[in-house]
Chains A and B, each alone.
Chain A
Amino acid sequence: MPKANVTFEKLGITVSVPAGTRLIEISEKVGASITYGCREGECGTCIMRIVSGMEHMSERSVLEDKVLQENMAGRSDRLACQAQVLGGDIVVKA
């Protein structure tokens, strides 16, 4: 199965995960601070900054794009509950 390496910059931990894993599944397990919220891509609570490797992330869905725009998120931001990692190395600010 294809793998992706997700590095949590502040925590100093890299997790090797199967492609298709959502960021929130990893962030919760490593003890990053993002947990609460609707988990359905509506509330914007889990906005996460992607430091590098955005090209290895799933495309924004219409819903995710709308919520990110409403929350004035930047181009490097994603919703952890929606964004999936597809492969390669990804670094997040958490």
Chain B
Amino acid sequence: MIRMPDAVEIAPGTHWIGALDPGLREFDIILKTANGTTYNSYCVRGDNGVAIIDTVKASHAEEFFKRLEQVARYDEITTIVLNHLEPDHSGALPELMRRAPQAKLYISTKGQLMLKALVKDSTLQYNVVETGDSVELGGRTLRFFNTPFLHWPDTQCTLVEQQGILFSGDVFGCHFCDARLFNDRVGDFRFSFEYYYQHIMRPFREYVLNALTLLEPLAPKLIAPAHGPILREAPLSYMQRYRQLAAPLLHNEIGSDNKSLLVFYISSYGNTARMAQAVAEGAESIPAVRVSLYDLQAGGNLPFVDLIEEADGIAFGSPTINGDAVKPVWDLLSSLAVIKVSDKLGAAFGSYGWSGEAINMIEDRLRGLKLRVPVKGVRARLIPTDEELEQCRDLGKQLAQHLTGNIERRVISMSQLLAQEPSHA
């Protein structure tokens, strides 16, 4: 691969001035990359001003300043835009502002808190911009589009109107380092693009769809993200791909007025399995609820994560072994960070030999993930009795009623609430 020391013109008067980090293998703990990443920064020259769009990670500041100096003097810089304030984009900001003190900084409304937390300087001046706001550089207009939660609250995109260049921040980006920079020249980065979406954007897919509605009509001629290749060949196809990725994988057979409850279980001797069956039976007795039953011993986390993303409620059945729920349950419950689960309904149940802690532990985890856990879980010592299986059916029924909104509204006093087992009404 060729090292590229110079700034690269991506359109007349507009340059890439970012940094290459080919040695990086793990980004922010959660992402792997087989060939590093880039921190993309851009310089836009107008008749009356020069704008810098995003900076780079502090460790790569020198490379960034070297490229910047090839295309602009610091005293020419009138405008600095941060589309996203994570340290890999804001790392060189303090030094850039020291070198170009006259430049005005533009961030989104929600960027303010992050800016203060990152740049510990209470005297720092900045301007807050919303969708539709613009900055004139003379023959070049920067227009801002607020695209929150892609993938932080502060994220925004910036369009150079006259050139149709969309500086998209992390959106449409990926961790892929190739000095040839442009998508029609670099190596095959398709897996990196998909992987980045799946790990970074997927939890926010509702926001992805909102952002696409805002950005698609702009029909940019070139998309310049903050990581990875610059998309100049068929840029709109990447927007289309985001729209596909943000939509459900398959057509959902049930209508939007129906609800989906998934019952996962794992069982050593068939006891928790019997309870799972009863939970499912109870839930099926309520119309307009689609119930699915899955054994965690088969299947695997990834398809289950896909299923959970689409579900309205999830119930987990686990035995208690040595005072804990079993590992396949925790494996799945620790794989949900890539999807949105808040506000779904959760529940737990299971058979146990001695103590039965698993149920409360699973419920705590579900609440920690911001699911609602409105119905007390069912525990059965070893082989569930008919009465305990009936409690399981009732659990399933109540969950289904909560899902359909047909819950019996209850009134309870605080003292009754406190007298019950922890965390349950």
Contact = CB atoms under 8 A, between A and B. Distances in A.
A77 to B, nearest CB: 15
Contact of B372 (A10, A16, A72): A10
A31 B414 contact: no
Contacts of A15: 411-414, 417, 425
Nearest to A16: B413
A33 B414 contact: no
Interface stretch (B240-248, B296-304, B402-410): B402-410
Given A11-B374, A31-B367, A31-B374, A16 B109 contact: no
A31 B412 contact: no
A33 B342 contact: yes
Given A29-B423, A31-B374, A72-B110, A12 B407 contact: yes
A38 interface: no
B409 A12 contact: yes
Contacts of A94: 372
Contacts of B75: none
Interface string B383-415: 000000000000000000010000111111110
A54 B412 CA distance: 21
Interface in A1-53: 5, 10-18, 21, 26, 28-36
A24 to B, nearest CB: 12
A36 B374 CA distance: 17
Which has the most chain A C-beta neighbours within 10 Å: B375, B412, B414?
Answer: B414
B285 to A, nearest CB: 19
Chain A interface size band reads 20 to 34
Contacts of A34: 370
A5 to B, nearest CB: 8
A74 to B, nearest CB: 14
Nearest to A94: B372
Nearest to B109: A72
Interface in B16-30: none
B374 A21 contact: no
Interface residues of B, number: 31
A33 B411 contact: no
A33 B342 CA distance: 8
A90 to B, nearest CB: 13
A14 B374 CA distance: 13
B418 interface: yes
Interface in B334-352: 342-343
Given A11-B374, A17-B414, A21-B414, A29 B409 contact: no
A80 to B, nearest CB: 13
Contacts of A21: 414
Nearest to A25: B414
A14 B372 contact: no
Nearest to B425: A30
Nearest to B368: A36
Contacts of B363: 31
Interface string B358-391: 0000011001101111110000000000000000
A39 B424 CA distance: 19
A33 B367 contact: yes
B113 interface: yes
A14 B412 CA distance: 6
B425 A33 contact: no
Given A18-B414, A26-B414, A72-B109, A13 B409 contact: yes
A35 B414 contact: no
Given A11-B374, A13-B410, A29 B424 contact: yes
Interface of A: 5, 10-18, 21, 26, 28-36, 70, 72, 94
**3 closest A-B pairs by CB:** A12-B407, A17-B414, A33-B370
22 contacts: A5-B411, A10-B372, A11-B425, A12-B409, A13-B374, A14-B410, A15-B413, A16-B411, A16-B413, A21-B414, A29-B418, A30-B374, A31-B373, A32-B372, A33-B342, A33-B367, A33-B370, A33-B372, A35-B364, A35-B368, A36-B368, A70-B113
